[in-house]
Every structure is written in C-alpha cells, then in structure tokens.
Structure 1
Amino acid sequence: MNSPISAARSQSTSRTVAMALTEALVARTLRAVEDAGPTPGMVYMTDADYARFSDEILADAPAGPLKLFAYGSLLWKPAGEVRGGERAVATGWHRSFCFTVQRFRGTIEQPGLMMALDRGGQCQGMVFEIAEPVADNLEALRRREMTILPAVNVPRWLRVRTEGGMCRALGFVVDPANARYVGRLDKPAIAATLARAAGHWGSGAQYLFETIRHLDACGIRDRNLWQLQALVAEEINRVHATA
C-alpha cells in the first residue's frame, strides 16, 4: 500500500525548520515491550459491535465516494487503502492528546496518551477517498481505531472545507463522557507522559514526531504540536540523559 502522503507531497511548502524532537531523541524512548493482550477489566468489541457501527456509519453517509479526514496517524498508517489527498479544515474541532491508553503506546504501569479530535477551534488535515472495496477498507479502519466499549474514539461525519468547497468526511472524535477522556491537559503534563510512555506499537514521543513530520510534508504546521514537541525534547533530555 502506498503512503497517502506520497499523493499529497505536491502540496507541501518549502520551509525547513528543524524540530527540537529528533529521531535520536525519539530512539531514547523506544524499548521492547511485549503486547500484554487485552487490558483486564476492559470490554472489547465483537464482530457484532463492529457490524453495528458499520451500519450506523453507512446509514448517514453522504452520496458519492466516501472520504476520510486524516489528522494524525492515519496520515502515514491509514489502516485500509485510500487514494488522492487534499488539504482540508474541520471547523469546531482540534487535535488533542486527550485520552489514555494502557496498550499500544502505553502500559498498565505507564499509561500513554493518544490524540483525537476534541471540540473547539479548528483542525487542518487531509481528506482522502476510501478506496474500493469500501466495506473492507472501512472494516480495517474501524478495527484499528476502535477496540474497547464504550468507544472513546468514535466515528462521525464531519463537514470539512477544501479548496473545492465543503464536503463531508469521516473523522474520529473523542467522547468526553468516556472514562478514558482526560480533558485538556496542559502541555508540560502531556510532554511528561509522551517522553516516558511506550508500548508494543512504539512510544508517545514517536507518535508525536511522526505526526508532525507527516503534517509538515503536507504543508501543515500545527502550532500547538510544535510547542509540544519542544517540551517533549526537553523532557527526554532530562529523563533519559543517563540512559
């Protein structure tokens, strides 16, 4: 599968500003973590649950090709085949490290933080077309983004603005009523977690680094993430200086 970014590189700006968070610093946060499997006490989604969400998504789908709004890891790891790619803005939502994980990029002993769209502000991202067979690619997407009930990261048809006008695209937004939602943490608290947490998928610092790198390839600069990466770099230098 080709990375969706390869289709969007022509939209990238020519600026070259180095991140304080480097690959060398990210490497300090990476460690071998065995997948401990399902987290005790969590209710994992079944095939019937995925089918129900699929029916709900498709029942409200707009006419024509289905589109996906990518703002984080879906830029480089789309979980299913997508094509095309154009910049878009979702108004009323912003990227936020706003829910905890005890697996994937965290552990029970050191939970991590993951991004979702939270209410307020606006978010620049990319819109891609979900390729055929749509049902199979939607299935892969749902299973990557949703694992536990009640779901903290829920699918929603968003109105997004592109150069060609408004359209509706599938995005994943946080449910603030979910117990794993942590609200709007301050940047030092987020940085402290991202500099330390890691799971079998990698570390929180790596997740932040890859998100910024792929956004930048699309010509998108997220001011909050750039401020955050500088804090994470400082925290890694402090915590892992003697590692």
Structure 2
Amino acid sequence: MFVFAYGSLIWRPGFPYVAAQPAMLRGYHRRFCLWSRHYRGTPEAPGLVLGLDRGGSCRGVAFEVAAEEREAVLEYLDERENPRGEMVYHRRDVGLRLADGRAVRGITYVADRSHPAYARPCHETAAQVIAAGHGMAGSNRDYLLNTVRQLGEFGLRDPGLERIAALLA
C-alpha cells in the first residue's frame, strides 16, 4: 500500500513504512483550504490546514507500507485526519507516479468541499491567519514552514506555499 502525503504527514507520518519517495498526484492540488479549530487553531481563532482540492496536480511523498501494517495504518490515518469523527477529509484511492517512474495506486485524503470547515482564502488572508494560529498540535506558522522545508528535503517545491511563507515575514 502507498500513502500519498502532501502536508504534515510528510514530516510526521506517525506510522511504520518501508520506503518514501517523491510522487506526483494529478487531479488535485495542495491548498490551505480547511479551517482548523483543533490542531492549528481554536474554535475562537481558527487556523488553516492543508487539503487536497480539485484540479491541477500535487507533488508530495509516497510512503510504502508493508501489507501486514495496512489495516493499522488506515485506522490510524482515518482517526488522525478526521479527529473525533469530524469528516473534513475523504479517503480516496488515487493513481500516483513515483519518482522512480512506477505508476501505483495509493490512498490519500481529499478536502470535503461541502464541510463547513472548507475555505478558499487568498494567499494574503491565509498568511494572516497562519501567522496568528496556534492549536493543540502547535503553531500554524510551524506547520507551514515544516511542510515547505520537508518538501525541499525531497527535492520538491510548492510556489503557493512559498509565497504564503514569504508573506509571514
């Protein structure tokens, strides 16, 4: 099984894996499109977290999971991505192109556009929210900067995230 990571899963997967490598997902793009009232914000001052939204493409990291770990990893990810049963993400089976050239199937989590937490702020608004956001998992700023840094460690860039990061300064 492959798990496609595009945000904090890149730098904090939290599950056992056999290998990790850059991968391309077509049909979705990475975006700060979900209000976070738990991990990166509070109910009174929500932060923003990344989701996969329709259209475009996304370069991220594919984690290969051993067959015997599959069910435990899926259970862990379902709880992590939708804490307390709040279904802000849908688990999807997707096609991935790995950096080594292989085409594989994998799972990832896509933002639910019908959920009240769904948002589409401009880069400037996202930067303002992220600069101030802090929740039980830490600062929203660290979430953004860790994601940009880890993408770089895999040789990947995301100009949209880099633009938001530049607006934080």
TM above 0.5, yes or no, is yes
Q: How does 1:159-178 map to 2 (within 5 A)?
A: 159-162=95-98, 163-178=100-115
Q: Greater strand percent: which structure?
A: 2
Q: How does 1:1-243 map to 2 (within 5 A)?
A: 66-131=1-66, 132-149=68-85, 151-162=87-98, 163-182=100-119, 184-233=120-169
Percent of residue pairs bearing the same amino acid type:
38
Q: Which residue of 2 aligns with 1:33?
A: none
> Unaligned 5+ residue runs, structure 1?
1-65, 234-243
The size of the alignment, in residue pairs, is 167
Distance across 2 between alignment mates of 1:104 and 1:232:
19
Larger Rg: 1
Distance across 2 between alignment mates of 1:108 and 1:115:
18
Distance across 2 between alignment mates of 1:198 and 1:150:
19
Could you say what secondary structure the match of 1:140 adopts? helix
RMSD, aligned CA? 1.3
Contact 2:91–2:109, Cα closer than 8 Å, also in 1: yes
Give the letter aligned to residue 118 of structure 1: D
> Unaligned 5+ residue runs, structure 2?
none
Could you say what secondary structure the match of 1:195 adopts? helix
Distance across 1 between alignment mates of 2:31 and 2:145:
15
Distance across 2 between alignment mates of 1:159 and 1:141:
19
